[in-house]
Amino acid sequence: MSVLVGKQAPRFAAKAVIDGNKIVEGFSLQEFLGKKNVVLFFYPADFTFVCPTEIIAFQEKLEEFKKRDTVVVGVSVDSEFSHWKWLQTPRNEGGIKGVTFPLVADPTLTISKNYDVLAGDFDYDEEGSIVFEGNPQAYRGLFLIDKQGVVRHQVVNDMPLGRSVAEVLRVVDALAFFLENGEVCPANWHKGDKGLAPTQEGISSYLAGK
């Protein structure tokens, strides 16, 4: 698994559904450069079981992300038409109606592969034909990309393991705290907690106060 932290996030331009009902061409994270942080998360497939719980959980906290100058973007290997249909389906029928943040279509698997969250890979069979080995879906990868387009945090869960949106917000807060104060965030730091000066005196003072 590639570690993208500290590197520029892989670029892409792809079809996506925005505002819950509009299919657009060439959606790109470049539009947020210099303006917003991006939480880019991958999920295995539309019309599944764990995925809607995560997507709706992100939607429920969308205003909290907006307050932090952060946009949320989802990606799966499904087509834009599948995304659109799922977004029009009521929640009591297995849909995610009411979700407004972008869902990006990755049917060619290119974006998932570039972020190294694809649960399989292409290979050649004995006849020399290209085949896909494994599951042509994305693991539950999540990347926090700062306003300069640099990945500052990443985590990848196996498909059965849903993520914590509260933890994503905590990491967004931690990045903001570091950028604003120059202090680092110790274990279990939450917004409102004290930071830690990145010096021996700083760690000594912090531990003495524990």
Give the model confidence (pLDDT) of 74-95 as tens digits: 999 999 999 999 999 999 999 9
Range of the domain at 54: 14-162
Which tens digits make up the pLDDT trace of 149-180? 999 999 999 999 999 999 999 999 999 999 99
Residues 86 and 189 reside in one and the same domain: no
pLDDT digits 0-9 by tens, 114-139: 999 999 988 888 888 888 888 999 99
201: which DSSP letter?
Answer: H
Does 4 fall in a domain?
no
Q: What is the pLDDT of residue 122?
A: 81
**Does residue 208 form part of some domain?**
yes
Tell me, yes or no, whether 125 and 187 share the same domain. Answer: no
pTM: 0.94
In this model, does residue 1 exceed pLDDT 70?
no
Note if 51 is an active site residue: yes
Q: Which of 51, 117, 156, 165 is catalytic?
A: 51
Note whether 196 and 158 are same-domain residues: no
